[in-house]
Structure 1
Amino acid sequence: MTTGIGDGVAIPHCKTAEATRFVIALGIHPGGIDFDSLDKKPAHLIFLLVGPDNEPGMHIRLLSRISRIISKAPVRDRILACSKAEEVYQLINEEENNAFEVKTP
């Protein structure tokens, strides 16, 4: 099964007993990389998720959060337009806060 989900995004992921915590990395390739994506287009944003194999629930939640944030074309475009890692980090943090903001009555 491919981890190229389409729209220029791939999310390769694994669980291993060697991992003691979750780590997420983002690779950006302006020209794109063939990930055998569902839409047959190259991946420009590659999110790598590695975590402990004894926390499958958290693994799924993190995959879901990444997918939800990156599902919006404007967000993907803004990430690709960033010139510094700090800009990407700030943008993703803002999007995560907006997407998963706790609403109080």
Structure 2
Amino acid sequence: MQLSDLLREDSIQLDLASTDKASLFQDALRHLHARGHVTEPETVLHDLEVREKIMSTGIGQGVAIPHAQSEGVPETHLSLWRPKKPVEFAAMDEEPVDLIFMILGPRGIGNEHVKILAKISRLLHGSDFRDRLRKAKTAAEVLETIRDFESN
């Protein structure tokens, strides 16, 4: 399984107007619901908020990977969100984030979430990858960047 197979162009949003974590989650779920990737946005929002209360998914270096298993998601889905301005995310390094990979899946998917998290983390380890994602002007460029780094 490749990240580029899970991530679709319609699930990549660049230059979001969201100004904080709560509005980013709401905007993201509204977008995913309109495209059929989320069936119950309120349920998913609740599950994301519960997960964030356990521990922030802001991993540092301007990156967050919010994730949740939820009854409001029919199948595992990966999306990427890049706000116009970095948003506070209670990240480990206390820096705001501007790259958000969101992993959503149905309850009971087992370790599939963990495998996706591990793949994202490996790619994010290199600053070149993060830099290219930040410079991408289109969703197609984001996918191309991910494919390039997955193939190396």
Provide the identity percentage. 35
Gaps of at least 5 residues in structure 2 are: 1-54
Per-residue CA shift, 1:35-54, capped at 9, x if unaligned?
00000001010011001222
Match among 124, 139, 143 for residue 85 of structure 1: 139
Match among 68, 87, 90 for residue 36 of structure 1: 90
TM-score relative to the length of structure 2: 0.61
| Structure 2 residue identity aligned to 1:46 | I
Per-residue CA shift, 1:67-89, capped at 9, x if unaligned?
11112111101111111110001
Distance 2:77 2:151 in 1: 19
Higher strand content, 1 or 2: 1
Distance 2:125 2:85 in 1: 20
Paired residue total: 98
Higher helix content, 1 or 2: 2
SS, match of residue 31 in structure 1: coil
Distance 2:61 2:74 in 1: 31
Match among 57, 63, 71 for residue 111 of structure 2: 57
- State whether structure 2 residue 124 is matched by structure 1 residue 70: yes
CA contact (8 A) 1:17 1:54 kept: no
